[in-house]
């Protein structure tokens, strides 16, 4: 589980938008560009190279 305060300060390194936590898939999803960042051992990996691209329109 990701701490909500941590989530608040996290931002997508690609576009600087906020990220949302997808608890089911343990991913952080950018609300701006839709990149999906992995969470490893409870620690968000905010690295563009590690992120998955998403076809979904978040907004």
Residue 20 in 3-state DSSP?
strand
Which residue in the set 10, 28, 30, 51 belongs to the binding site for Zn ion (CB under 5 A)?
30
Strand partners, 5: none
Which residue in the set 12, 28, 46, 51 belongs to the binding site for Zn ion (CB under 5 A)?
12
Question: Cβ of 19: how many Cβ atoms within 10 Å?
Answer: 23
Min dist. Cβ of residue 14 to Zn ion (A): 4
Closest to 33 in 3D by CA, of 49, 15, 8, 48: 15
Q: Which stretch binds Zn ion (CB under 5 A): 1-9, 11-19, 21-29, 48-56?
A: 11-19
User: Which chain residues interact with Zn ion by CB under 5 A?
Assistant: 12, 14-15, 17, 30, 32-33
């Amino acid at each position: 589980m990701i701490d909500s305060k941590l989530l608040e300060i996290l931002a997508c390194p690609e576009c600087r938008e906020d990220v949302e936590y997808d608890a089911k898939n343990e991913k952080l999803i950018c609300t701006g560009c839709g990149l999906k960042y992995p969470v490893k051992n409870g620690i968000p990996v905010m690295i563009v190279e590690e992120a998955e691209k998403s076809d979904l329109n978040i907004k």
